[in-house]
Amino acid sequence: MKIAILGSGGREHAIALQISKSKKLRKLYCIPGNAGTSLISKNINLKLDSFNEIYNFLKDKEIDLVIVGPEKPLVDGMVDYLNKKNIKVFGPNQKVSRLEGSKIFTKKICEKYSIPTANFGIFKNKEDTFKFLQNRKMPLVIKADGLAAGKGVYICNDMESSKNAVSEIFNGKFGKADQILVEEFLEGDEMSYFIISDGLSYKSFNTAQDHKRVGEGDTGKNTGGMGAYSPSKLINHDLEKKIISKIIKPTLEAIEDMEQKYNGFLYAGLMIKDDEPYLIEYNVRMGDPECQTILPLLKTDLLDLIIACCNNNLKEQNIDWHEKKSLCIVLCSKGYPESYKKNIEIPNLKNLELNKNNFIYHAGTKISDDTIHAVGGRVLNFVSISDNYLDSRNEVIDQIKKLNWKNGFYRSDIGYKVIDK
Ligand code: AMP
Ligand code: GLY
């Protein structure tokens, strides 16, 4: 088959590597891809908001199936657009992508279908929100409704920071804001739970825990993700049963009631408190770096699963996993998540020797004249799988030290909640 993957991050490189191993693959394209994907597929330099140009390329090359990696094209309706043109796509349509595109949409579903989540209020202007904030117990969580690249969530400990968050959101920091979401702060441990769905049935697609803060000990600014480990330490049979019956099933029922189907990965960001799951948010795609962390554990051919989803026969597929512990550390450019230098060479990358349990997935990289340069904040994802999290982390740190990239930094404590020393 001829396959095209949309996206340019570590998640898309990880998907591309997995697909490149499939016997069913004849030709693989990444749009636009990165330096890593250029080594295993052909990169096509098109913008993801140019639906028409992408369609022309897909038609010209007679692409059989498209896999959409990031949320933006899903929320913007790429799947609907390509389906109308009779191109098979793995990913949810625009209506159901609102699960990520609008936090308020998801909260309303939680309310209607009794899905456990933080108590919340929705407000239409600053004045009403400020009134509500009077005499509230802190911390409070204040959220912009739409996509905000992980930046539209404020955890506020006092009135001043709460008012500041409300003002920033209504002043348009994350685009035009007609509404704002204020939530109770949930204590507990976070976990990412994934499913893959063809619209008729779904299967669990493993769990992970990511580390979003830039600094050791989960301190400092929020980032796209500094590392992750999989599986989550929290998951067990009873908890999974609760996640499915209290969160996943009612959500899929809501989608059915909308007369829609969910095709693709669905990522539930959960807070676990006293063995009970609460939904924090949905994402309508794999996580990044959770995807890079989970996929090395997958034994089953990923392309078979994706084809099954597009043909509505996921039910017939088994999904098998290696019983190993996976850990990913993201190597970033110094300065990230604030400003950082671009076009910095990464000289030693080609000299690293990887065994079958080690992986390097590119994110913000580009190749020119056979030299790899960093062009983004999150640059490379180092992943290792082994029998325990500590060995995986040691192996990853060993590799990063061997690379010895002077412009990079990373968190050496990824997985500290599951590693004693
Ligand atoms: P989100 O973009 O919705 O995933 O939020 C980013 C992060 O904010 C989450 O991963 C949580 O760590 C935190 N967060 C969001 N909502 C809440 C909440 N209601 N209570 C506690 N933490 C939250
Ligand atoms: N790692 C968080 C996300 O992909 O949204």
Q: Which domain holds residue 146?
A: 125-178
139: Cβ below 6 Å to ligand 1?
no
Q: Are residues 64 and 82 in the same domain?
A: yes
Asked if residue 307 belongs to a domain, the reply is yes
Q: Out of 28-42, 170-184, 354-368, which region has the weakest mean confidence (pLDDT)?
A: 170-184
Asked if residue 116 belongs to a domain, the reply is no
- From the CA of 70, which ligand is nearest? 2
**Could you tell me what percentage of the chain is helix, strand and coil, using 3-state DSSP and rounding each to the nearest 5?**
30, 30, 40
Tens of pLDDT along 50-101? 999 999 999 999 999 999 999 999 999 999 999 999 999 999 999 999 999 9
pLDDT band at 380 (very low <50, low <70, confident <90, very high): very high
Partners of 89 in the β-ladder = 66
- Ligand 2: which residue has its CA nearest to atom 2? 287
The yes-or-no verdict on residue 391 having pLDDT over 70 is yes
pLDDT band at 351 (very low <50, low <70, confident <90, very high): confident
| Nearest CA among 131, 287, 104 for reference residue 208 | 287
- Sequence-distant (≥ 6) Cβ neighbours of residue 214 within 8 angstroms: 220, 221, 222, 223, 226, 336, 337, 411
Asked if residue 106 belongs to a domain, the reply is no
The yes-or-no verdict on residue 238 having pLDDT over 70 is yes
Any idea what the CATH number is for the domain that residue 369 is in? Answer: 3.90.600.10
pLDDT band at 396 (very low <50, low <70, confident <90, very high): very high
Cα–Cα distance for residue pair 33/13, rounded to 1 Å: 7
Q: Are residues 256 and 350 in the same domain?
A: no
Q: Are residues 146 and 219 in the same domain?
A: no
The token pair that represents 320 in the structure block: 């098998």
Asked if residue 232 belongs to a domain, the reply is yes
Q: What is the pLDDT of residue 151?
A: 77
108 alpha-carbon distance from chain centroid: 23
Q: Are residues 247 and 219 in the same domain?
A: yes
Any idea what the CATH number is for the domain that residue 134 is in? Answer: 3.30.1490.20
Mean pLDDT along residues 361-374: 94
| Nearest CA among 103, 92, 39, 50 for reference residue 70 | 92
Q: What is the pLDDT of residue 421?
A: 65
- Sequence-distant (≥ 6) Cβ neighbours of residue 297 within 8 angstroms: 206, 230, 321, 322, 324, 326, 385
How far, in Å, from the CA of 15 to the mean position of ligand 1?
26
Atom of ligand 1 nearest to the CA of 118: 19
How far, in Å, from the CA of 370 to the mean position of ligand 1?
41
Tens of pLDDT along 177-228? 889 999 999 999 999 999 999 999 999 999 999 999 999 999 998 898 999 9
Q: What is the pLDDT of residue 56?
A: 98
Tell me which of 139, 155, 178 is where a domain ends.
178
For all residues of the chain together, what is the average pLDDT? 95
Q: Are residues 357 and 387 in the same domain?
A: yes
Tell me which of 270, 290, 316 is where a domain ends.
316
Tell me which of 316, 347, 367 is where a domain ends.
316
Q: Are residues 295 and 344 in the same domain?
A: no
Cα–Cα distance for residue pair 420/39, rounded to 1 Å: 37
Q: Are residues 295 and 200 in the same domain?
A: yes
Q: Are residues 363 and 277 in the same domain?
A: no
Q: Which strand (E) or helix (H) includes residue 156? A: strand 153-156
Domain count, the chain: 4
Q: Are residues 16 and 38 in the same domain?
A: yes
Q: Are residues 254 and 346 in the same domain?
A: no
The yes-or-no verdict on residue 171 having pLDDT over 80 is yes
- From the CA of 218, which ligand is nearest? 1
Any idea what the CATH number is for the domain that residue 84 is in? Answer: 3.40.50.20
**What percentage of the chain exceeds 70 in pLDDT?**
100
Asked if residue 282 belongs to a domain, the reply is yes
78: Cβ below 6 Å to ligand 1?
no
Asked if residue 159 belongs to a domain, the reply is yes
- From the CA of 209, which ligand is nearest? 2
The yes-or-no verdict on residue 392 having pLDDT over 80 is yes
Q: Out of 3-12, 142-151, 216-225, which region has the weakest mean confidence (pLDDT)?
A: 142-151
Q: Are residues 310 and 244 in the same domain?
A: yes
The number of CA neighbours under 13 Å toward the Cβ of 329 is 26
